[in-house]
């Protein structure tokens, strides 16, 4: 793989025709160490956010030993790359064949569920194994998050007592898990969910050995600057300590976005300008799904030397396919003289960026290059790198 000192240097030297994924291993390493050292429990990586083998290896080398997988393909992938990793199959609706293969061929013992039917399926598929960790997924509110995960999965309060009691009978270790929605903008999201956990435990009167607060930890994007992660960790710790659970109970979390958003950015070329619309060579069917379909705003930067001194103005983007839906409204703030042939870096695409790429209309090809410069924004810069910054404070979008 090529290595470059900076995104600008790469654009100038290679003038790539296809989009380039810029990866920053040091940024993923920094995020993983932050969670490993500061989260008051165990941090699992949610593989769906970015299943790249390089990233999985970096996270493992940085102390992440448990991985939240949701499909049999993710199980196979992680067990191949990291044979000693502990895999947790946290999709509440699984194929029976997938459970069987995960348990018997890959040693997976941790599963989530949100119905009696899924509990029975897990029992059948594992031939009533007695060494299972079974986590009941509760439905909690996504009110404090930018992307809801409240509709599809999770047992409601009125069903959870019966389900917890039945799962207690089947499980060696009984857990409760939830997901507050992705990009939770306040620690309150977790506090409110933990109150629902408390109510569920009290109603079921069962001994719970594991609380898994899921993902949802934020990263930083234009217009979405969350408070420091330490505040989330403290709130979760305090709520966990006050739950009526066994003394030896464990606390887990499953960050996806927060561990990998800073890991990658995207280098694109402007192929055409029409007023305030830029036609670029990646889009909704590539790494910009969220920018197109949920209006996510990613930081952008014109990579030109000498730097443009024209004032920024708002642009929208069109992707390369022939589809009108291949449109990213933004607004993306770029110098007013941005033109065809220019290169733009789109930042914070390590999570739910490269992972969503398709080959629709012949535009799936992308090169990957390692960059040594800093991501366009970071939640993890520490004092050793910049004495004015405290660990975990939000660093605003940084011009390189
Ligand atoms: C998607 C997902 C995660 C990761 O969520 P982030 O918002 O990226 O942190 C964790 N757990 C489960 C069960 C998920 O579905």
Tell me: the pLDDT tens digits for 134-169?
Answer: 999 999 999 999 998 888 999 998 899 999 999 999
46 lines ligand 1 (CB under 6 A): yes
Angle at 220 between CA 194 and CA 29, to 5 degrees: 85
- Chain centroid to CA 69: how far? 12
CB 209 within 8 A of CB 177: no
Global pTM value: 0.94
Give 271-301 pLDDT, tens digit per residue: 999 999 999 999 999 999 999 999 999 999 9
Residues 6+ apart with CB under 8 A from 392: 34, 38, 228, 229, 230, 379, 380
Q: Is 189 in the pocket of ligand 1 (CB under 6 A)?
A: no
- What pLDDT does 400 receive? 28
Mutate-to-test residue for ligand 1 from 256, 260, 289, highest number of ligand atoms within 8 A of CB: 256
Q: Which domains does the chain have, with CATH numbers?
A: 3-23+262-397 (2.40.37.10), 26-260 (3.20.20.10)
> Which residue in 88, 177, 322, 354 is the catalytic one?
322
Region of residue 361 (phi > 0: left; psi between -120 and 50: alpha; otherwise: beta): left
- Alpha carbons 109 and 170: distance in angstroms, whole number: 13
Residue 4 — very low, low, confident or very high, per pLDDT cuts 50/70/90? confident
49 lines ligand 1 (CB under 6 A): yes
Tell me, what's the pLDDT at 382?
Answer: 60
Is 322 a catalytic site residue?
yes
CA–CA dist 82, 76 (Å, integer): 10
pLDDT: which is higher, 34 or 393: 34
């Amino acid at each position: 793989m090529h290595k470059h000192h900076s995104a600008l240097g790469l654009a100038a030297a290679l003038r790539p025709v296809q989009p380039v994924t810029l990866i920053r291993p040091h940024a993923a390493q920094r995020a993983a160490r932050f969670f490993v050292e500061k989260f008051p429990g165990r941090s699992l990586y949610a593989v769906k956010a970015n299943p790249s083998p390089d990233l999985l290896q970096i996270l493992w080398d940085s102390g992440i030993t448990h991985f939240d997988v949701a499909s049999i393909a993710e199980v196979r992938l992680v067990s191949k790359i990291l044979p000693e990793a502990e895999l947790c199959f946290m999709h509440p609706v699984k194929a029976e064949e997938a459970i069987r293969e995960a348990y018997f061929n890959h040693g997976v013992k941790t599963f989530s569920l949100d119905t009696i039917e899924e509990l029975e399926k897990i029992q059948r598929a594992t031939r009533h194994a007695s060494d299972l960790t079974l986590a009941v997924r509760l439905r909690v509110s996504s009110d404090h998050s930018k992307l809801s995960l409240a509709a599809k999965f999770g047992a409601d309060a009125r069903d959870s007592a019966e389900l917890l009691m039945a799962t207690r009978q089947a499980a060696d270790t009984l857990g409760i898990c939830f997901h507050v929605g992705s990009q939770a903008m306040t620690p309150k999201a977790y506090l409110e969910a933990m109150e629902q956990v408390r109510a569920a435990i009290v109603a079921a009167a069962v001994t719970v050995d594991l609380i898994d607060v899921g993902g949802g930890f934020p990263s930083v994007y234009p217009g979405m600057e969350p408070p420091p992660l330490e505040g989330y960790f403290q709130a979760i710790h305090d709520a966990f300590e006050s739950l009526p659970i066994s003394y030896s109970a464990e606390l887990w979390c499953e960050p996806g976005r927060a561990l990998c958003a800073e890991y990658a950015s995207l280098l694109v070329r402007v192929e055409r300008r029409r007023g305030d619309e830029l036609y670029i060579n990646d889009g909704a069917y590539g790494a910009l799904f969220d920018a197109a379909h949920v209006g996510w705003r990613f930081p952008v930067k014109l990579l030109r030397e000498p730097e443009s001194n024209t004032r920024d103005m708002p642009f929208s983007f069109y992707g390369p396919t022939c589809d009108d839906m291949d449109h990213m409204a933004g607004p993306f703030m770029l110098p007013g003289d941005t033109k065809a042939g220019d290169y733009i870096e789109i930042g914070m695409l390590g999570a739910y960026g490269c992972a969503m790429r398709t080959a629709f209309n012949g535009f799936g090809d992308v090169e990957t290059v390692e960059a040594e410069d800093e991501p366009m924004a970071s939640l993890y810069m520490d004092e050793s790198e910049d004495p004015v910054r405290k660990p975990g404070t939000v660093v605003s979008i940084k011009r390189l």
